[in-house]
Structure 1
Amino acid sequence: MTAASYAAVDWGTSSFRLWIVSESGAVLAERRSGEGMTTAAQTGFSKILESHLSAVSAPPHLPVIICGMAGARQGWVEAGYLDTPAPLTGIVKAAVTVTDANRDIRILPGLAQRDQDRPDVIRGEETQLLGAISQLGGGSHLVCMPGTHSKWVRVTGGIVDGFSTFMTGELFDVISKHSILSHAVADAGAFDATNVGFLSAVATAAKNPAMATNLLFTVRSGQLLHGLTAPAAKARLSGTMIGLEIAGALSTAKPGANVCLVASGPLAGLYQSALSALDLTPVTIDADDAVRHGLAAAAQAIWPA
């Protein structure tokens, strides 16, 4: 591992990802586990990190750059928040040092929107954004980062103007498991992103967001009156939730802003189809690539060759 330059870590609530990176930017080794903040708070952040570094024979003094929940108040060392509007380069400058470690470890901060009526926070996605923005160029962008709590960020000329969090993934889980709609979607399984019912629900919800709770109930009534199958009901529920999210996000966007989707896996396909159904053509960037590039940009700024 003599060619290693630094280790990059994305530490989520329930996940841990580490990459050993060379001076040329090549990934020399990778580790993934379910040892997120929840586990690390009990086991110890340093213990988990060092076990993964040891597993890939990383040098004892290899520096480490970290983003995500390790910097939360309940994490390893609180990295705080950078207030918006904020330049993305400011994220790197506000990195905090883990002072009791035997190696140089820096944790990147999150972003905070302190508006009294629309307070909001980001932790982890700011590093994806840092990695993605280099591919987007100047101008005004509306960046979608879907997940349990989807983030839509407004960026102009490298400045984060503001952002909105949508609890789409969490609400889908709660509604599909703990509401009357659970009967309609029970044992539904997966559905394709090109599902006609899904796309129709996206378009209907985006056009009529004020009818949100009524549209949700049609998942149940559609089953009772029209024989809507469980997979079709799940597709309608998902399309409705995502359509409502997109409608909300677009309502805050600057006119003419370019839409960018930072996602990977099944969510990337769903959101690409949903945006296409609304005549939007986003630039799509893989989320894993974005976070690695963001961590790389931070590492290169902190430890220049």
Structure 2
Amino acid sequence: MTRCDRTDFWVWHGLGVNVLGLVVPMDLKELLSSFAQITVFAVMLSMGMVLGFGGIVRLWRQPGLLLRCVLAAFVVVPLAAMAVTWAIPLSFEARAGIAAMAVIPGAPVTYRKLLKGPADAELGGSFQATMALLSIVLVPLWFGVISALYPTGGVAPLTTVFKQVMLVQGVPLLAGAALAQWLPELTADFEEPLNRISSAMLVGVVLLVLAMGLPLVLRAGPLTVLAVVLMAAAALVSGHYLGGADPIARLTLAQANASRNAGLGLALITLNFPSVAHGVLVTIAAYAVMSAIASKIYAHLYQKRLARSVHPQDASV
């Protein structure tokens, strides 16, 4: 397989091949990656049907909050990652994996993850959609910086990022919103069945990713795990404090900001640094697992804090 063939394979198979590839036989890898591709497409289509264009642009109606979200996602987290990789002695593969996760927010499953609990799923969905669209321009800029710091012969072109983001996320999201806008009766008939099917498929993908990712986390080493935990903490804290005064918005944006696009991250690393892709996979898997754990801990502690602040008021009424 030529380098061009490898590039097309990684880019077009999205999240599934990026997370599950390189560790399973070819036939099984292709099967799982195709399943993951279809799952992400179904999830985004369902999300578009539920949100509609109004939900997608919700964040855009609050320019101040939108600006703070962009700062948290594309400025604070990358700068925090730079500080972490400067302070902690890490391998090139670990630094590249952390850099990739730092500059690519908006994981495809952000909206579905926020449906559970008190978070504002519509706001999280708008965050995810907005970051995916901005990634078309901002991610190549950041990867230009990374390539300048770590010179390499390959450079991920803007068209590659555009295809990855639009075909895996943008097209189904906008198609779902268009159906909700112009064919509401048809959308009403298919929305619930599609939601159930895509949810079941997503559970399967998550279980497969965990099964493949946890062994990789154990191989990452304590310094790499410490680095990804610090970066996840920076993402949560920046999303929390830049999320405004509303506690639910803070909870939502903190978790959404900590959820980075692992699939696109490794796809672009493969284009720019193909010789270290497998080593980078270990770091990306470590971030995916540790950030999910950190988000759960954060949400639990913040909800307990909110409950303590509400109960005294209720008692005094």
Band the TM-score falls in, shorter-chain normalisation? under 0.3
Larger radius of gyration: 1
Structure that is richer in helix per residue:
2
- TM (norm. structure 2) is 0.21
- TM (norm. structure 1) is 0.22
Structure that is richer in strand per residue:
1
Q: Which has the higher contact order (CA 8 A, sep 6+)?
A: 2
